[in-house]
Amino acid sequence: MTDINITIIDREGKEHAVVAPTDMNMNLMEIVRSYELAPEGTIGICGGMAMCASCQCYVKSDHPLSEISADEDAMLAEAFNLQDNSRLGCQIHIHSNLDGLVVELAPKV
């Protein structure tokens, strides 16, 4: 399988069912940007380096995500609107085991 289905809830609470490729080495932040689900300049500001938290999202489904790295953990510790299920979208790599993932974008900071 090369595409997975993801549900992304935007910052206005609207649900979007999107298809994400697993063979292009993309992360969730890049998927949000490619579907233009957040205004340009409000997500992915650091380019996916775990240095801005503009890509913070809340993981609503029970999927096996990668471990939180020290860099991600440190950035989340400084982020606003943190919740128990917060992750940085740029650190969630699109993989076939994430089919059915549901995430909500954290408010703009």
Interface with ligand FES (CB under 6 A), residue total 15
**Taking CB under 6 A as the rule, does residue 54 contact ligand FES?**
yes
Q: Interface with ligand FES includes 52 (CB under 6 A)?
A: yes
Nearer to ligand FES, 4 or 76 (CB): 76
Shortest CB 1 distance to ligand FES, Å: 26
Contact call for residue 8 and ligand FES (CB under 6 A): no
28 makes contact with ligand FES (CB under 6 A): no
Asked if 55 is part of the footprint of ligand FES (rule: CB under 6 A), the reply reads: yes
Question: What part of residues 79-108 is at the interface with ligand FES (CB under 6 A)?
Answer: 88, 90
Joined together, the tokens standing for residue 17 give 């069912």
Parallel, antiparallel, or unpaired: how do β-strands 3-9 and 15-21 relate?
antiparallel
**Cβ atoms of 31 and 21 closer than 8 Å:** no
Half-sphere exposure (Cβ direction) of 66: Cα atoms closer than 13 Å: 16
Max Cα distance, the chain (Å):
37
Q: How far is CA 37 from CA 47, 71, 83, 88, in A?
A: 16, 25, 21, 16
Catalog residues that contact ligand FES under the rule CB under 6 A: 29, 44-46, 48-55, 75, 88, 90
